[in-house]
Structure 1
């Protein structure tokens, strides 16, 4: 009989089956990663959700907070003065607050994307003086950024309470 602690293992959700267009594939994978990273924060216990799991200071709540800022910068044109600061949630923020803020940023980004029919066109910006990447570049960058931090979140969550899976 094993005395090892029981691991909290979620089933591994496979990548999405999307429609065949480039837009459907890119948005399908981005939404899949968005859901994966927010699920890593949900249910993580306090104070571990905000406690650094590695010497750099990275923690689950900070990762999701950062991704909310990236979504808003890439798709809404928000300016960020201090990117390092985005990796820290406010001490008063509960995990549910950060998850809600992230989901709100994602919803606003999706509203912008819903109006974009041409992947080669620039992402619409509220200020004409703000340069904008193409929709294709923005989607690809967000897949890379979210995927990278989802991997960090996988490791941090497993270190917290043994939870694995997507």
Structure 2
């Protein structure tokens, strides 16, 4: 006998930590924007987090579809790739870190790879949890 699970709205149902799929997608969008546009290029594009609200990028409007968050994340990556086209990996980023050093573009890309990979693992676990399996 298979267990019947209602998955409606599952993309916005938070865990106790307030984690949601939509929130993760929103977070990734702003992390990419911050590191590529702001740190590498030196732009000053807005990000939602502040000292008073450091995790604001994890909040996602439950009225917005996950597909919209996916589309927005894809657009952020397209914008980032366009910006990166003129920055070789060994070039120092425009923005210095807290100790005054400028990470290289390669370091920023490695950092983003680790960030995206970590969150892909979170998504993999969520997908596995949501899989229907027969109950014995």
TM-score (norm: length of structure 2): 0.73
Deviation (angstroms), 1:59: 1.4
CA RMSD, Structure 1 to Structure 2 (Å): 2.4
1:47 aligns with 2:17: no
Structure 2 partner of 1:99: 70
Structure 2 partner of 1:9: none
| 2:23 equivalent among 48, 59, 62 | 62
| 2:56 equivalent among 70, 85, 107 | 85
Structure 1 partner of 2:86: 115
- C-alpha separation in 2, matches of 1:139 and 1:60: 23
- Partner SS, residue 92 of structure 2: coil
Structure 2 partner of 1:31: none
Listed as ranges, the gaps of 5+ residues in structure 1 are: 6-44
1:154 aligns with 2:124: yes
- C-alpha separation in 2, matches of 1:161 and 1:99: 21
1:4–1:91 distance in 2 versus 1, CA, 3 Å: closer
- Partner SS, residue 18 of structure 2: coil
TM-score (norm: length of structure 1): 0.61
Deviation (angstroms), 1:137: 1.0
- C-alpha separation in 2, matches of 1:72 and 1:46: 30
User: Which structure would you say has the larger RCO, counting Cα contacts within 8 Å and 6 or more residues apart?
Assistant: 1
Deviation (angstroms), 1:115: 1.2
8 A Cα contact 1:62 1:86, kept in partner: yes
Deviation (angstroms), 1:111: 0.8
8 A Cα contact 1:65 1:87, kept in partner: yes
Paired residues in the alignment total: 116
Structure 2 partner of 1:27: none
1:2-17 aligned within 5 A = 3-4=1-2
